[in-house]
Chains A and B, each alone.
Chain A
Amino acid sequence: MDNPLTLEPLFHLGPVPITSPVVISWVLIVSLTLGSILLTRNLSLKPSKTQTVLELFVTTIEAQIQDTMNRAPGPYRALIGTIFLFVLAANWSSLIPGVEPPTAHLETDAALAVVVFAATISFGIAQRGLKGYLATFAEPSWVMIPLNVVEQITRTFSLMVRLFGNVMSGVFVVGIVLSLAGLFVPIPLMALDLLTGTVQAYIFAVLATVFIGAAVGDEPARAPSDPSDKETHQP
């Protein structure tokens, strides 16, 4: 079994080494994109069962964003939803024999954390302006500026490490048990990995939402004008 802390390039594209997480991520991207195209090609006002599930998924994400950020979910829907889907798909890819989930490597988790970090800053500046966003570091007092700056880094780092630790440990446990016990013994652990992968995807998406929501602040009260911005509740 390979050491998850080291990556060996599968091939090179010029000077760029292409590793297995990148390739698996490309496969996941293609799969998710093609699946999305296939599922959304026949959308209609009278929804089918598949469309109903899709709409339920999207409205659930929107409701989660609305409840967490207290803002219209439109600008954040794609980012949060994509993070959840990608992390979930990456975590569940361990079910395929011979495939190591990209999230079991630190670079993928770091890339996700970097994207969330950048999105937090960009959404905060877009919403508050540069000065307003920087002013949030002085809340509740200027004394808190160093702590708030450190918090920005540490919470991003914790986001990365939490996902990496959980997924990598699951992969390790399954590999160790498989090498020691036999073919079917790791199955319960793989099922546990499914649950863990789902929970980690949800946690990652929710924490990303919380971070972005903290950066943009609460939305002032206004009458909803865009139907896509309206609050959506799901049971």
Chain B
Amino acid sequence: MTIDWWTLGLQTINVVVLVWLLARFLFRPVSRIIAERQAAAQSALDAAKAAQAEAEAANAQAKSEAAEQASARVAQLSQAQEAAKQESARLLTKAHNEVAALRAQTEAEIAKEREAAQAQMAREAGVLASDIAARLLSRLPDSARLEGFLPGLIEAVRKLPEPTREALLAQGKLALRAARAPSAEETTRIEAQLSEALGGPVTVDTSVDESLLAGLELDAATAVVRNHLRADLDRITAEVTQDD
């Protein structure tokens, strides 16, 4: 067996050249494109991870904001409830005060109306009593309508203060109102008893006032002495009204 060394050398060179050519035109380009695809895939994977991280961060932020909004809503709700409670209490107090004021006003008006009604009733009762007394007195003799009240009038004059009595005495002629016109005899007797009570001579100027029902009323400048049924009825009516 012989070896062709030229062929061996040329084939060796051929193999080396082929290694270089295929490395240049086959293996490097293919390996490069594989590496680029792997890099692109890795880049896409990194981008996806970054996007996922960003989405998770955004999600966390959204949750945080939602929690903050919920907390703020609860706080606002609590604040609104507190304000509503305070406003309700204020309105309730105001309503109570207004009701109390209205009630007091109403009670005052009712009391006033009641007083007015009582006064009206008293007046009507006085009128009624006057009518009754007038009808009852009409059954008595006329002398009883004056003479029965004369002692009381004299007694009242006696009890007047001294300066008053002196003023009456100094006046001389006293105005006398009577339930009916006294007779001359009755006038004389009245003047006599008044002169005795005042300690000096006086005369009377008699006028008729049927509203007195029965009795007399001495009407002077410094004093008025009443002793008649009308004054009694008025006093009784006043007392009854005060008692109510």
Contact = CB atoms under 8 A, between A and B. Distances in A.
Interface string B1-22: 1111011111110111111111
A9 to B, nearest CB: 8
A83 to B, nearest CB: 8
Nearest to A79: B19
A82 B38 CA distance: 24
Interface in A98-119: 102, 105-108, 110-112, 114-115
Interface string A1-33: 000011100000000111101100110110011
A58 B27 contact: yes
Given A26-B14, A37-B25, A106 B3 contact: yes
B33 interface: yes
A28 B28 CA distance: 20
Nearest to A102: B11
A33 B22 contact: yes
Contacts of A86: 15, 18
B1 A106 contact: yes
A139 interface: no
Interface residues of B, number: 37
Contacts of B20: 78
A110 B8 contact: yes
Contacts of B172: none
Contact of A43 (B10, B12, B27, B33): B33
A183 B17 CA distance: 37
Given A5-B1, A78-B23, A227 B6 contact: no
B136 interface: no
A107 B3 contact: yes
A152 interface: no
